Amino acid sequence: MVRKLMEGSEFVAETVRLCKPDVVSAYPITPQTHIVENLAKLAADGKIKSKFLEVESEFSAISSVVGAVAAGSRAFTATSSQGLALMHEVLFAASGMRLPIVMVIANRALSAPINIWNDHSDTMAERDSGWIQLYCETVQETVDTLIQAYKIAEDKRVLLPIMVCMDGFILTHTIEPADLPDEKDVDEFLPKYNPTHAVLDPERPMTLGPFAYPEPYFDLKKEFEEAMENSKEIISEVNEEFAKKFNRKYGNGLVEEYKNDKKIAIVAMGSVCGTLREVVDKRKDTGLVKLKCYRPFPKEELIKAFKGKKTVIVLEKAVAYGLDSGPIFAEIRDVLYSLKEKPKVIGIIAGLGGVDVKIKQVNKVIDNSKKMKDGEVVWMKT
């Protein structure tokens, strides 16, 4: 293991090198650009053996990756915001065919108005695309999650594509010290992808993504949801296995609790959890519940984390327009509905389009939360 000081995007590129994909295909878009730049450099210098495809759009990037994985290889792509939106149609094809693609998302706001800074509106718009979504708090967590993602996706009990989400600029462009695992250790942890369910091979013809009549279509969708639910167990398992080998662990792989033995719990995803750790460190009444895995939604783990809470505050960087709240807020309230003693749930919409989330403002909302009604949503701005 080597401790290095590099930009987040360079760490991602170096981690991709360690994961040894057969095909890398991506189209540059801010703030994901440096990931692709670094990968192109590694490919040009002969440091990765992957076939590097220079495509003309994100639609082609994801389509070529679908083709590569359908042919039985391991592939990597990365995108952001509008690029992810352009991939929309193919995302469903990839998950429906159960292709274990791993894609890094540098989270960025969606147009209009055009904005290049971080929020979660791009990945939230794809929350029902059938992709597993894992959100990272730090560059180190992104490195570790990326390695784990291939192992989870390619597990025969899962076979689902994964988005590894890192906050645009905040993580992609920050120079941060992190440990880059040794190649030998990653090789041991991550064996070669050996698919049997779907391989395009002229010797053994198969049809992928065929036409399905209503009844088999319905059955396939039900089976798909079961695979999603089952994947929680494997995500936790891989998190444990990773911890044994690399000595780093992120909660149970789904949810990470930090000083969560107090009356109030604040829930969030991604890099903002770093800020919230500062908040929680100085407060006697509030703990942090970091939602690492958003899809599949870890209902049981969240119920456990919220046990005995008076108030649950959900801070999120996305809006479910027409619902007057964020999507995570709505889902967490749904989870808590089954409890006998329901905590009060308060929503915070923050950081849209890259607005800074500041300790002072979070403290203000927590202070006011006693007076607030259940279901109230605050739009928090600098």
Partner 1 sequence: MKKSESKVSTGGVIKEPGSSKVVKTGAWRNFRPVVTDKCIGCGTCVMFCPEGCIKIVDKKAKIDYDYCKGCLICVVECPVKAIEKKQEEK
Contact of 319 with 379, CB cutoff 8 Å: no
Least CB distance from residue 293 to partner 1, whole Å?
Answer: 17
The residue among 115 and 230 lying less far from partner 1, judged by its C-beta, is: 230
- Amino acid residing at 251: G
Least CB distance from residue 223 to partner 1, whole Å?
Answer: 4
Least CB distance from residue 210 to partner 1, whole Å?
Answer: 5
Backbone φ and ψ of 314, nearest 5°:
-105, 115
How far out from the chain centre does Cα 2 lie? 25
Least CB distance from residue 90 to partner 1, whole Å?
Answer: 15
Least CB distance from residue 335 to partner 1, whole Å?
Answer: 19
Nearest Cα to Cα of residue 31 among 154, 166, 168, 131: 168
Least CB distance from residue 100 to partner 1, whole Å?
Answer: 11
What distance in Å separates the CA atoms of residue 136 and residue 167, rounded to the nearest whole number?
8
Nearest Cα to Cα of residue 115 among 269, 271, 322, 317: 317
The residue among 197 and 364 lying less far from partner 1, judged by its C-beta, is: 197
What distance in Å separates the CA atoms of residue 282 and residue 83, rounded to the nearest whole number?
39
The residue among 42 and 198 lying less far from partner 1, judged by its C-beta, is: 198
Backbone φ and ψ of 244, nearest 5°:
-65, -40
The residue among 151 and 290 lying less far from partner 1, judged by its C-beta, is: 151
- Amino acid residing at 224: F
The residue among 157 and 370 lying less far from partner 1, judged by its C-beta, is: 157
CB crowding 354-368: b at 16 or more within 10 Å, else e:
bbebeeebbeebbee
First to last CA, the chain: 40
- Interface contacts to partner 1, rule CB under 8 A: 96-99, 157, 159, 197-198, 204-210, 212, 216, 219-220, 222-223, 226, 229-230, 233
Tokens of 123: 């990945």
The residue among 218 and 379 lying less far from partner 1, judged by its C-beta, is: 218
The residue among 200 and 355 lying less far from partner 1, judged by its C-beta, is: 200
What distance in Å separates the CA atoms of residue 380 and residue 367, rounded to the nearest whole number?
14
Least CB distance from residue 206 to partner 1, whole Å?
Answer: 5
